[in-house]
């Protein structure tokens, strides 16, 4: 069964939801395969490293965030009294689900694992507010970058002129810093301000502007982004650069921008999207945060009872992924979605 591109879970674009779902699945596949390399399991990465580029799902999420914030809130720009609603919806969209999964993870650690985290009040406060580094729920490091970008966008809502100046100046400073290699030695707030992942957010913002203001340019923009991105990626491979090099970040930002632009074109052309992909997109945030634990504990249980070595790799992997998706659906169904609906009713 397919869903029209004009509809999606919770009223979102179906094509964008499908991209979000596939990105979360890529990250889950990456970690599920990598966990198999532990000595107590099979001692090597699953499927010969087939999913090694699953980390690119994170890059796509950042590009998508830059697009969505501008696209959804473009009518709020320059309207100061809407700042509270914007912050309220960002906070209630992200934090409650994170708090739940982080709390469950910490509880499972205290109850089931030998190496227990040392929990102090300060440690808890830092994790609740996403201030610790590294966080207990390590995969939530992306939320720290997200919130830095979210709160910077508040300036745009308070003042269109001041916000525009801020983001243009910010992009220029980042470009200079990246050229000079300064992103490698920064820390604190400057670390987030000059982090290469900002290239993803800026790309998403630019796509949102083109989509809302110059939509006829979108196909050409996709081609340009794809050409630049592939050229930079080819340079990374040819020069033997690692995944933390600046050309890699810029290349991936352009490639993810081209992918997002392609999804927007599919939406405009009313291409029908499989319902399962739209559904997967709706649970993608919960899946991204929680997938490590159902997969990890499933592998551990199989190892403890001596079944891990007797089951084919594909069977172990598939069941682990199914458990992750099912757990994510439960969290979405009974926590994430009800809280979002409550938050929207509270501040219409």
Q: Is 183 exposed, middle or buried (0-12, 13-18, 19+ CB in 10 A)?
A: buried
What pLDDT, on the 0 to 100 scale, is given for residue 47? 96
Long-range contacts of 101-110 (CB under 8 A, 24+ apart): 101/137, 101/286, 101/289, 101/290, 101/293, 101/331, 102/127, 102/135, 102/136, 102/137, 102/140, 104/293, 105/136, 105/137, 105/293, 106/136, 108/293, 108/297
Q: Which residues contact 219 (CB under 8 A, 6 or more apart)?
A: 265
What pLDDT, on the 0 to 100 scale, is given for residue 186? 58
What is the Cα–Cα distance from 66 to 277, expressed in whole angstroms?
22
Structure tokens at 165: 């100046």
Report the interhelical angle of 198-213 vs 218-239 (nearest 10°): 160
- Classified as helix, coil or strand, 2 is strand
Number of CB atoms found within 10 A of residue 243's CB: 12
Q: 2 - beta bridge partners? A: 274
The conformation of residue 118, written as its DSSP 8-state character, comes to: -
What pLDDT, on the 0 to 100 scale, is given for residue 182? 65
What pLDDT, on the 0 to 100 scale, is given for residue 188? 79
The answer to whether the predicted template modeling score (pTM) of the entire model surpasses 0.75 is yes
Please state, in angstroms and as integers, the Cα–Cα distance from residue 239 to each residue in 66, 228, 247, following that order: 30, 16, 10
Which residues of the chain fall below pLDDT 50? 1-11
CA 210 to mean position of chain CA atoms: 22
The answer to whether the CB of 52 falls within 8 A of the CB of 42 is no
The conformation of residue 274, written as its DSSP 8-state character, comes to: E
């Amino acid at each position: 069964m397919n869903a029209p591109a004009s509809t999606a879970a919770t009223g979102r674009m179906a094509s964008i939801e499908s991209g979000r779902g596939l990105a979360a699945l890529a990250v889950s596949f990456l970690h599920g395969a990598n966990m198999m390399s532990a000595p107590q399991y099979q001692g090597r990465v699953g499927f010969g490293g087939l999913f090694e580029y699953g980390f690119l799902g994170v890059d796509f999420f950042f590009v998508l965030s830059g697009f969505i914030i501008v696209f959804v809130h473009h009518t709020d720009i320059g309207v100061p009294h809407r700042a509270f609603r914007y912050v309220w919806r960002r906070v209630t969209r992200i934090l409650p689900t994170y708090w739940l999964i982080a709390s469950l993870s910490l509880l499972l650690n205290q109850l089931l694992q030998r190496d227990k985290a040392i929990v102090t009040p300060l440690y808890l406060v830092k994790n609740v507010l996403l201030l610790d580094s590294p966080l207990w729920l390590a995969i939530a490091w992306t939320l720290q970058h997200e919130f830095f970008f979210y709160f910077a966008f508040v300036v745009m809502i308070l003042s269109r002129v001041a916000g525009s100046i801020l983001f243009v100046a910010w992009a220029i400073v980042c470009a200079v810093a990246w050229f000079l290699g300064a992103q490698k030695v920064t820390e604190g707030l400057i670390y987030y301000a000059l982090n290469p992942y900002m290239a993803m957010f800026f790309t998403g913002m630019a796509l949102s502007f083109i989509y809302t203001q110059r939509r006829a340019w979108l196909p050409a923009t996709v081609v340009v982004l794809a050409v630049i991105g592939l050229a930079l990626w080819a340079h990374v491979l040819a020069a033997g650069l690692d995944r933390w090099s600046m050309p890699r970040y810029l290349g991936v930002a352009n490639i993810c921008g081209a992918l997002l632009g392609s999804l927007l074109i599919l939406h405009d052309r009313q291409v029908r999207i499989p319902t399962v992909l739209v559904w997967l997109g709706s649970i993608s945030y919960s899946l991204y945060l929680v997938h490590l634990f159902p997969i990890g504990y499933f592998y551990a249980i199989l190892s403890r009872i001596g079944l891990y070595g007797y089951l084919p790799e594909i069977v172990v992997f598939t069941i682990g992924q199914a458990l992750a998706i099912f757990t994510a659906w439960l969290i979405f169904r009974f926590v994430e979605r009800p809280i979002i609906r409550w938050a929207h009713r509270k501040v219409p």
